[in-house]
Amino acid sequence: MYYEEQQEPVVQEDDQSLQHPLVRQMVIQLRAVDSYGTYDTWSDARVLDPLVLTKERRKAIPVVGDPDETTISRVKAYYNALAQLIERETGLLAVPVINITHEGFGRALILVGKLVALDKVLRDVHRFGFDSLEALVAEAQKQLAKATALVGEHRAVAEL
């Protein structure tokens, strides 16, 4: 990753956002895909720190670039965590479907039954991140509210 060479962490160990259910689920998702055990000794704050892109970190990432596997796993962890929260809220199975090209473009869908509860176009995935953990939580809550409202409005389709 382009910006991980910087040693100064942005996410602090006592950040209150680390206790949010979506953030907790993202940590679980990221640790689950860590097949080499890199995250075993890392704190939750350190695992999530690369998701926070300060102005300096954004400047270090080229405007055009291909996403690496670590970045793609972070995107998947985010949408997997969202799907898990949608499932918790609605009581129906939510399945994330993510398609990303090698150039960093694609789409993320969360399906609940036959209903597309969330549809997000992905661009510049190599620059995936948020200004802060609070921004991550705010964006997730906005998407979660829309998705659960959609499931509520079209429950019959979601139950198919």
- Residue 70's domain is classified under what CATH number? 1.10.3100.20
**pLDDT value for 99:** 95
Residue 10: inside a domain, yes or no?
no
Global pTM value: 0.86
Tokens of 18: 């680390």
pLDDT in tens, 96-122: 999 999 888 999 999 999 999 999 999
**pLDDT value for 7:** 56
Give the list of residues 6+ apart from residue 6 with CB closer than 8 angstroms, or none: 56, 57, 60
Residue 114: inside a domain, yes or no?
yes
Residue 42: inside a domain, yes or no?
yes
**pLDDT value for 153:** 95
Give the list of residues 6+ apart from residue 147 with CB closer than 8 angstroms, or none: 82, 86, 94, 110, 112, 117, 118
Q: Which residues pair with 36 in a beta bridge?
A: none
Residue 117: inside a domain, yes or no?
yes
**Structural domain range at position 21:** 16-158
